[in-house]
Structure 1
Amino acid sequence: MPGLTRWFIKSALVYFVAALLLGVGLAAPTVLALPPALGVLGPVYFHVFMVGWIAQLIFGIVYWMFPRYSKEQPRGSAELAIATYGLLNGGLVLRSIGEPLHSLWPAAGWGWLVALSSVFQWLAGMAFVLNTWRRVKEK
Structure 2
Amino acid sequence: MPPVTRAFIKASLLYLVLALALAVFQTAQGRLGLDLPGLSAVYFHLFLVGWVTQMIMGVGHWFFPKYSQQLPRGRENLAWASFALLNLGLLLRAVAEPAQALQPGAVWNAALLLSALTQWLGGLLFVINAWPRIKER
TM-score range, shorter chain: over 0.9
Question: What pairs up with 1:1-139 in 2 under 5 angstroms?
Answer: 1-30=1-30, 32-37=31-36, 39-107=37-105, 109-139=107-137
**Residue 103 of structure 1, CA deviation:** 1.0
Task: Write the distance in 2 (CA, Å) between the matches of 1:69 and 1:105.
Answer: 48
Aligned pair count reads: 137
Task: Write the distance in 2 (CA, Å) between the matches of 1:72 and 1:108.
Answer: 47
Task: Write the distance in 1 (CA, Å) between the matches of 2:114 and 2:106.
Answer: 16
Q: For the structure 1 residues 36 and 75, does the alpha-carbon distance in structure 2 shift closer, same or farther, using more than 3 Å as the test?
A: same
Gaps of 5+ in 2: none
TM-score normalised by L of structure 2: 0.96
**Residue 109 of structure 1, CA deviation:** 3.0
Task: Write the distance in 1 (CA, Å) between the matches of 2:108 and 2:115.
Answer: 11
Task: Write the distance in 1 (CA, Å) between the matches of 2:45 and 2:118.
Answer: 13
The residue identity in structure 1 corresponding to 2:34 is P
Task: Write the distance in 2 (CA, Å) between the matches of 1:69 and 1:107.
Answer: 46
Identity %: 47
Task: Write the distance in 2 (CA, Å) between the matches of 1:43 and 1:126.
Answer: 22
**Residue 132 of structure 1, CA deviation:** 0.4
Task: Write the distance in 2 (CA, Å) between the matches of 1:107 and 1:115.
Answer: 12
